[in-house]
Amino acid sequence: MPASTTIEVVGVKQTINSLRKIDPQLQKDFKADATQIAQPAINAGKAVYKELPLSGMKYGWTQRDRKLFPFTITKAVNGVKMRFDTRRNAVGVILIEQKDPAAAIFETAGRANANKLGNALGFVGAGRTRLIGPAVYKARRGIEAEMTKMIAKTMRDVQKDI
């Protein structure tokens, strides 16, 4: 008597994890395609770093032997990266992040509580960033439809292969 099984992939996290189980190369291809589709948003995130926010940010600053500053435009631009987060408790799956410590501090200083650096840089609301967030959200509108189509196609392919 033959057995039949149906497996339904519900979301993007499950699709990416299923791709790794089926064939790791499929997962690599998916991530490469997603990165290529999201390139306008990544470029928009990189384009916002044009000048030094405060003159004092050009000097070195360490905290507990960890080098946090100086802020340089080149390092801030190169720090904008795309990452996939498929952990169970992850808020987002496809993330565009700032990996440079100085630029990340600039983006978020003062949003949790008031401090001198945050006050000097200006107000930023809770859960917001100064430059990268608004730039990526503007560029996101242009890539959502293409990303949704690619994800739906990948989900269909995974279900068909299983």
Would the pTM of this model clear 0.85, i.e. be above it? no
Torsion, Cα of 35, 11, 14, 17 (10° steps): -10
Answer whether residue 3 is part of any domain.
Answer: no
Overall number of domains in the chain: 1
Answer whether residue 126 is part of any domain.
Answer: yes
Write out the residue range of the structural domain in which residue 137 sits. 12-161
> Using CA of residue 31, residue 34, residue 36, residue 38, what is the dihedral sign?
negative
Answer whether residue 1 is part of any domain.
Answer: no
Q: What is the pLDDT of residue 42?
A: 92
Answer whether residue 4 is part of any domain.
Answer: no
Q: What is the pLDDT of residue 44?
A: 92
Answer whether residue 6 is part of any domain.
Answer: no
Answer whether residue 5 is part of any domain.
Answer: no
Q: What is the pLDDT of residue 161?
A: 66
SS (H, E, C) 24-67: HHHHHHHHHHHHHHCHHHHHHHHHCCCCCCCHHHHCCEEECCEE
Mean pLDDT of the chain: 82
